[in-house]
């Protein structure tokens, strides 16, 4: 029996829940309620994808049907407990969402020095914010993406950032989505980042699970980037070991804008990370990077779409994976070059390191080019640790386990070093070094550099 048929048989729980949800949201504006209704209609008509859908060929998402549609029970955490869990300093500007609810006491709202709006989406909805209503749902496609449609229908909380034209924000803005592990709960964060012409901002999104129970995070983040705007974006997925994580980052760039996003997918039993970039103006540039670490029986699916709809735009994409145990990875990267998008410069690379015989990667880089004056490349490599490199290190007194750890770290560190936020970079370096929860390595960085240089990696 196909997944779509399974969904139809249990679809009533979503529809019934939406009817009650809609009554509870009667205070919202007509345009927002209509957006929710249309999204729910699309969810009902689309059904869940199955293996016949090329974009989901290697990922079975039917497990979400077994999770009851209920709100999580929030667990009280002190500021100190939360700070230890987040592994990031809590100074500066941040919004914290705990079990799907905004925690004002744990957040640090912007002071008057921040010439921008930063507030929870629930407050923006209550204010009937014009910017939210004019931009929400414009970049994220509910017509063809079933989980985006579900999020649009039910989302009540998340982050709203509105940066006016010409504003430069020097310090990163942190958005923390923390789940304490409510049994069989569904959390649907919705974030909207609107960055004006000539503005600049750095945003860090972190999804963190603190419990071992099964739950589902279905997150959507929309970014609307104005002419000449610059956004440096980081997304860290570190959900609980039994969690399911589905996320969709949708970006629309105006002319001469620059957007960079760096995904680090670490947790969850099943993760599906989507990044969709669309160039809506000329001479825009995007960098789309990702690092995914899988072990045991984790399944990590990365799906990217870069739409070169305008000429003279450039995109640079690099995804790296490290898979151990019986982990399974999927990379499906698409680059579309439209007929009028002459002078496009696009590069896409996927590199995967398999640390065991049972680990698997399904990789499919794609180019669809309808213009003739372009420069586009794509490729994928899959391999094991180099026996020569291991021998080189062992001949210099490094143990086998430590040699493997060094080479694995060297493979991943190329992407980690591109992080411009120092506390985040330091935390991820430590996490990769000790990804198996073993003792911390104490190896001279010079040894690591010599090994990498000698083996030509």
Do the beta carbons of residue 46 and residue 39 sit within 8 Å?
no
Strands 185-187 and 101-102: unpaired
Query: Is the predicted pLDDT of residue 446 greater than 60, yes or no?
Result: no
pLDDT digit string, tens, across residues 147-179: 999 999 999 999 999 999 999 998 899 999 998
State the pLDDT confidence band at 219, using cuts at 50, 70 and 90.
very high
Segment among 165-179, 331-345, 423-437 with least mean pLDDT: 423-437
pLDDT at 19: 82
Span 85-92, average pLDDT: 65
pLDDT at 3: 36
Span 244-266, average pLDDT: 97
Query: Is the predicted pLDDT of residue 426 greater than 60, yes or no?
Result: yes
CA dist 404 and 178 (Å) reads 32
Do the beta carbons of residue 37 and residue 31 sit within 8 Å?
no
Q: Cα–Cα–Cα angle for 39, 43, 47, nearest 5°?
A: 165
Do the beta carbons of residue 360 and residue 328 sit within 8 Å?
yes
CA 138 and chain centroid, separation = 19
CA dist 453 and 143 (Å) reads 49
CA dist 241 and 181 (Å) reads 10
- Six-digit token string for 144: 């063809």
Span 340-351, average pLDDT: 96
Do the beta carbons of residue 272 and residue 61 sit within 8 Å?
yes
- Would you give the DSSP letter of residue 111? -
pLDDT at 451: 39
State the pLDDT confidence band at 440, using cuts at 50, 70 and 90.
very low
- More confident position, 127 or 203: 203
Whether the CA torsion 155, 156, 158, 164 is positive or negative: it is positive
Segment among 161-170, 194-203, 228-237, 395-404 with least mean pLDDT: 395-404
Average pLDDT, the chain: 86
């Amino acid at each position: 029996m196909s997944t779509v048929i399974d969904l139809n048989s249990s679809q009533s729980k979503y529809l019934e829940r939406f009817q009650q949800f809609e009554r509870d949201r009667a205070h919202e504006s007509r345009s927002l309620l209509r957006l929710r209704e249309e999204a729910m209609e699309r969810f009902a008509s689309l059904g869940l994808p199955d293996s016949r859908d090329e974009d989901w060929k290697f990922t079975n998402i039917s497990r979400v049907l077994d999770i009851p549609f209920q709100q999580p029970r929030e667990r009280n955490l002190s500021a100190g407990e939360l700070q230890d869990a987040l592994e990031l300093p809590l100074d500066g500007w941040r919004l914290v969402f705990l079990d799907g609810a905004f925690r004002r006491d744990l957040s640090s709202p912007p002071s008057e020095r921040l010439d921008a709006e930063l507030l929870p989406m629930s407050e923006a909805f209550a204010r009937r914010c014009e910017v939210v209503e004019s931009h929400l749902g414009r970049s994220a496609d509910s017509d063809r993406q079933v989980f985006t449609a579900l999020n649009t229908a039910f989302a009540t909380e998340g982050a709203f950032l509105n940066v006016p034209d010409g504003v430069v924000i020097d310090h990163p803005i942190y958005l923390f989505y923390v789940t304490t592990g409510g049994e069989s709960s569904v959390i649907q964060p919705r974030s909207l980042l609107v960055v004006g012409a000539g503005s600049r901002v750095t945003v860090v999104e972190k999804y963190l699970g603190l419990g071992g129970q099964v739950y589902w995070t279905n997150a959507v983040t929309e970014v609307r980037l104005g002419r000449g705007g610059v956004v440096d974006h980081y997304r860290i997925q570190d959900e609980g070991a039994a969690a399911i994580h589905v996320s969709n980052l949708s970006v629309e760039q105006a002319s001469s804008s620059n957007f960079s996003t760096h995904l680090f997918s670490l947790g969850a039993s099943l993760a599906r990370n989507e990044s969709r970039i669309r160039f809506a103006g000329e001479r825009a540039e995007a960098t789309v990077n990702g690092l995914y670490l899988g072990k045991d029986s984790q399944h990590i699916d990365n799906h990217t779409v870069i739409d070169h709809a305008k000429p003279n735009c450039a995109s640079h994409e690099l995804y790296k994976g490290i898979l151990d145990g019986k982990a399974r990875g999927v990379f499906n990267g698409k680059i579309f070059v439209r007929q009028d998008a002459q002078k496009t410069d696009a590069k896409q690379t996927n590199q995967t390191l398999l640390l065991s015989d049972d680990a698997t990667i399904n990789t499919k880089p794609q180019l669809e080019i309808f213009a003739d004056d372009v420069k586009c490349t794509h490729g994928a490599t899959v391999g094991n640790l180099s026996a020569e490199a291991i021998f080189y290190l062992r001949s210099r007194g490094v143990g086998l386990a430590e040699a493997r750890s060094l080479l694995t770290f060297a493979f991943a560190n190329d992407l980690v070093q591109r992080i411009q936020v120092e506390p985040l970079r330091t935390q991820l370096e430590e996490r990769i070094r000790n990804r198996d929860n073993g003792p911390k390595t104490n190896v001279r960085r010079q040894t690591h550099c010599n090994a990498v240089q000698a083996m030509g990696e």
